[in-house]
Structure 1
Amino acid sequence: MVISDKTVVSIHYTLKDVDGKLLDGSDESEPFTYLHGAGNIVVGLEKALSGKSAGDQLTVEVSPQEGYGEVDSKEIKTVDKSVFRGVDSIQVGMTFNAQSADGSSKSIKVTAIEGDKITIDSNHPLAGITLHFEVQVISIRKATAIEIDHRHAH
């Protein structure tokens, strides 16, 4: 069986940036499992995995456009400190979960503090970064009707 839409795929992977810094990876004892074709992994990696078989190993470079996108300057804003009511001490590097206009949860990071003005960035932490994956395909199986309906592996 090869990886195609509506297959459940288990992989081991490491993710590094262009300098070789480890950004993420699967636990060696438990592979990462996803439903292929459901948009559950970055587009560039999903494209590279299509047609692969269990046992295949590959190195994949994913551009920001096919990864987490370019950095969007509209996602970097300066807000008044009062937005953070109830937070005792705000520091650069802190992250918060905020509710976006559409009701979804979004992670924001404090990038600068000047007096009562706080600069926040709600871009994905890996936006603008070329991603380097080392992947080993562990297993592939046909997705169940429930998995296809729910758009993720169970």
Structure 2
Amino acid sequence: MATAKKGDKVLIHYTGTLEDGSVFDTSLAEDDCCNDSDCDCDDEGCGCETGPLEITIGNEDFFPQVEEALIGMAPGEKKTIVIPAEDAFGEYDEEEVFSISREQFPSDIDPHVGMELEFTGDDDEPIGVTIVEVSDEAVTVDANHPLAGEDITYEVELLEIR
């Protein structure tokens, strides 16, 4: 039976979980997916993806650790890969949490905790932030990735070598 090697285009199913077992990303549709009025399946990573992912091993289409684990696998095989925080979304950095005075905050935005915004950095690159605190004087935002500081686990199944 053929096994996957670097450069092969493959089809995989995957499920990404956190240490507490919660799913943060999957290519598998949940049984009751999108029967809920709050579900927006246009959101990447909403857990409602339906269908496998096609990647080319070695092209860094996915986490390199997952791509490396696919090498030598045959269709139908499954593997579990644990990726430490520093190799996943990075360690949580307290310096990425900062406050902006309400006077500097755009007046057309009514900030609330959990709101996600995109700012432009000094180098004109977009910076995604999440509001973590709102007061009369300031809005505190967190520019860490939402999964920063989290070890993640992927279970992958090689479906097909194309």
How far the C-alpha of 1:128 sits from its partner, in A, is 0.7
* Structure 2 unmatched ranges of 5 or more: 30-49
CA distance in 2, matches of 1:3, 1:86: 54
Supply the RMSD in Å over aligned alpha carbons: 2.1
Task: Give a deviation string over 1:28-56, Cα, whole Å, max 9, x none.
Answer: 44112233323332233233233323222
* Kept after mapping to 1: 8 A contact 2:58/2:68: no
CA distance in 2, matches of 1:16, 1:138: 20
CA distance in 2, matches of 1:14, 1:121: 26
Q: Secondary structure of 2:66's partner?
A: helix
Equivalent residue number for residue 19 of structure 1: 20
How far the C-alpha of 1:65 sits from its partner, in A, is 1.7
Task: Give a deviation string over 1:45-100, Cα, whole Å, max 9, x none.
Answer: 23323332322211121111221111122322111223431433210111012233
Q: Give the number of equivalent residue pairs.
A: 141
Equivalent residue number for residue 161 of structure 2: 140
- TM-score with structure 2 length normalisation? 0.74
Q: Secondary structure of 1:84's partner?
A: coil
2:110 counterpart of 1:89? yes
2:49 counterpart of 1:48? no
- TM-score with structure 1 length normalisation? 0.77
Q: Percentage identity across aligned positions?
A: 27
Equivalent residue number for residue 129 of structure 1: 150
